[in-house]
Structure 1
Amino acid sequence: MDEIVERFEVTFNQIHQHLKELNGYPKNDNFVELLQRSKLKHSVIRVHFDQLKQYAKLRNAIVHERIRGDYYVATPHLEVVEDLERIKQTLDQPPQALEFATRPVLFFKEDTPLTHVVEAFRKHEISQFPIYTSNHEFLGLLTNDGIVRWIAGALADGHVNMDGITTKDLLGEDNKPNVEFLSSSGSVFELEEHFETSLEAERKLKAVIITEDGDPDLLPMGIVTTWDLIKVDRRNRDD
């Protein structure tokens, strides 16, 4: 029984350490407080929130309500310890963000005709494309909303002249809004942190583009939108 309790306490403390790390080692490192904060940012914690909260109560009973050195008021079942260890393993080795990205990424050069882009939107049913210069410098993210706005502004007598119009013409002056970059080795925790930080700043993040080392001017290996985050929640629930 002592071995089961020890496994539980060691694993619980390791998860507590992960929660501290995920929250930037705050002064208030109460387990439940950290759990509540992490729930708002990370799907793995959301999925296991109720379990971990109950395990925190069990841990308190083990540590603070021990009758004597070798006798506990409450002890965990083996299944509980194994479940806690599975959660800890997920935190130790979170999946890479690239696993949840849309791949391959369709992108265009700055001189691509608008007619070609509109056809790609229709054919592939993708709502946004990264745009690059001929030297692979990232210029911005062209979205279907951006195209609609441009068409609305260019409409004259019920017609729009798209002759000679390229992707660069549609990006506008503020051509790099709400796009961030992440290395291909980045974890799903880092990915979720990007979206959570932008939310806290009241800035809607349209996408996180994944490149080999997070450099914006490398060609994209994957792109993640808020819709793709649904896959993160679904994967964690299935696990």
Structure 2
Amino acid sequence: MSRASEFIRLYNEVDAYLRRRTGADDRRSFSHVVQSAARTDRAVRHVRDLLIDYGQLRNAIIHSDEYPEKIIAEPNEETVQEFSRIAGLVMSPPRLIPAFQRVIRCFSPDDPVVSALAYMRDRGYSQVVIQTDDGLQVLTVEGIARWLGRRVEENGMRVEDETLSEAVACEPPGSFVVMGRDDTIFDAQAAFIEHPAPGRARLAVIIVTSNGNRSETPLGLVTPWDLMAAARDGLPRG
């Protein structure tokens, strides 16, 4: 298969996929369909401008006034490979699981604070997950700093005598959200970009469970650094 034929095959797949998603018929232009899909599909929104550019390139490759359509130009290999990667992201965007799956240690509210601090130090983490009666909770370095400040103001402290239940009470609201395993990397990006809501803390971490419920077992964690690493590994920035 020539590079042009492969490019047109990819274009036709993306075009058909987006028309199914939006319910658009053949009278709508490709760029119109892309714009329509981008309103509700974060993966499409992420690469919207690139898709429109590839649509224009498709028109340059094909002479559509004839039937069957005649190929009149040949894209280079790099262009075809990049379009293939973007088509995959649109039609099968990376899900949070397995992309960020990891073994999560859940602490108990009755565990000593020093055990969580040691765990964070040894692994270079900036947060720990706590399983409370109300569901999953996160304790971040910001929450720890607030707790330390409060305890010093009160009457000093012996850290080894303190439990996580006391520290997690100082965690600022909104420092974490829970998302489902089938949410996409683009959904996670949007969560960090759209936070914080007025009066709430900066989002520090996303806990991933099966269905996005705090009562479920955590399957993975996502931080802004994880998303930056994913971008370095080849996720297009759009």
> Could you tell me the TM-score, scaled by structure 2's length?
0.70
Does the 8 Å contact 1:43/1:232 carry over to 2? no
- Candidates 145, 149, 163, aligned match of 1:166: 163
Equivalent-residue separation in structure 1 for 2:189 and 2:228 (angstroms): 11
Deviates more, 1:163-172 or 1:27-36: 27-36
Matched, 1:147 2:141: no
Distance 2:82 2:113 in 1: 53
Which amino acid in the other structure matches residue 96 of structure 1?
A: R
SS of match in other structure, 2:212: coil
Distance change in 2, residues 1:188/1:22 (3 Å) = farther
For residues 209-224 of structure 1, what are the structure 2 equivalents within 5 Å?
209-224=207-222
Structure 1 spans left out of the alignment, 5+ residues = none
CA distance in 1, matches of 2:179, 2:36: 25
Q: Which amino acid aligns with 2:32?
A: N
Q: State the partner residue of 2:120.
A: 121
SS in structure 1 at match of 2:233: helix
Distance 1:186 1:237, change over 3 A: closer
Secondary structure, counterpart of 1:57 in structure 2? helix
| 2: CA distance, partners of 1:4 / 1:55 | 14
Partner SS state of residue 217, structure 2: coil
Deviation at 1:234, TM superposition (A): 2.1
Shift of residue 183 of structure 1? Answer: 2.6
Describe the shift of the 1:232–1:21 C-alpha distance in structure 2 as closer, same or farther (beyond 3 A).
Answer: farther
- CA distance in 1: counterparts of 2:16 and 2:192, whole angstroms: 23
Counterpart of 1:170 in 2: which secondary structure?
helix
Percent identity at matched positions?
23
Whole-Å separation in 2 of the counterparts to 1:121 and 1:185: 28
| CA-to-aligned-CA distance 1:74-94 (integer Å, 9 cap, x gap) | 434484556534432343333
* Distance change (3 Å), C-alpha of 1:174 and 1:234: closer
In the TM superposition, what whole-angstrom CA distance separates every residue of 1:37-68 from its partner, at most 9, and x where no partner exists?
A: 89xx659955x965x454222233457x6454
Encode CA deviations 1:113-163: one digit per residue, 9 max, x unaligned.
Answer: 122222222222211011112x5x425210111111211222159943335
SS of corresponding position for 2:111: coil
- Deviation string 1:154-193 (CA, Å, 9 cap, x unpaired) is 2159943335421121222776524222233443344334
Matched, 1:181 2:178: yes
**SS across alignment from 2:149:** helix
* Pair 227,195 (structure 1): closer, same or farther in 2 beyond 3 Å: same
Structural RMSD (CA): 4.4
2:21 and 2:227 mapped to 1: Cα distance?
Answer: 18
Provide the rounded CA distance (Å) in 2 between the counterparts of 1:160 and 1:128. 22
Give the direction of change, closer, same or farther, for the CA distance of 1:71–1:142 in structure 2 (3 Å limit): closer
TM-score, scaled to structure 1:
0.69
Letter of the 2:207 partner, please give it. I
Residue 194 of structure 1 is aligned with which of 161, 183, 191? 191
* Secondary structure at 1:215 match in 2: coil
Q: Secondary structure at the match of 1:177?
A: coil
